[in-house]
Amino acid sequence: MNSQPKANLKEIMVIEASKFISNGDTVMVGTGMPFVASIFALKSHAPEMCFVVETGTIAPEVIPIPISVSDPRVMHRAVKLGSLLDALGGILHRGMADIGFLGGAQIDKFANVNSTLIGDKTNPKVRLPGSGGANDIASHAKQILIIAPHEKRRFPEKCDYITSPGYIDGPEGRVKASLPVEFPDISVVTDLAIMKINKSKGILEITHTMPSISVNHVIANTGFTPLISDNIQIIPVPTKDELDLLRNTIDPNGVYV
């Protein structure tokens, strides 16, 4: 008899986000949930991915999950203990990053990300950590992957501040801003759904929903009106092996999941 608890939505979110990473990809990673999903990919279906921490560590063995980009576990058996310049200048700005992994306090309908402040710019209600390498990642990565809990306040019509650019204000927003990657693939993976940028309109579109989650429930928890795919798919429930890897090896203390 299997007594293992069923997967919760946060676990499904992390495992599903990891599937965007292919074997051999070079992935730029910051702190938080992107760590978990990237390490899950590395330890499951993408053992030859190159894991690059924005502070400069390249291809470390990070088990169990570190709590920040400065955690010594980030540096364990790394190919190189580099600098911010190595990661952002030597890899990202040279166009060598296949995927840039981000989180954020706000994500708007154009997939812009805010990790700077909440409220008015001159007198904010809350000050957040800021960009770190996030703006560089969003500007230079070929594919942008955002992972975040799904709640209405986190998905406003317009970000209070654009820390990291999505499509800025529409399909030509990045072109007008002269960003080096003009039309990246952008996917937002949440604990309710997956939304992907519709490049012709520059707006996020619901393409997948979590098991037992309706499209209407996703829309009710989103502060803007997303586009809706004509072919909505249901995200699969993780396998026992996937849950064992996540719960017992990658995040055994439940720090993130």
Strand order in the sheet with 143-147: 80-81, 57-58, 50-53, 26-29, 99-102, 143-147, 185-189, 193-198, 203-209, 227-234
- Where do we find the tokens 């921490």? 53
- Decide if 151 is catalytic: no
- Alpha carbon distance 15, 116 (integer Å): 27
Beta strands in the chain (DSSP E): 26-29, 50-53, 57-58, 80-81, 99-102, 106-107, 113-114, 117-119, 124-127, 143-147, 185-189, 193-198, 203-209, 227-234
- Alpha carbon distance 217, 133 (integer Å): 33
Answer yes or no: are the C-beta atoms of 150 and 214 closer than 8 Å: no
| Other residues' Cβ atoms within 10 Å of the Cβ of residue 247 | 16
Residue of 54, 157, 172, 242 marked active site = 54
Q: Which residues are catalytic?
A: 54
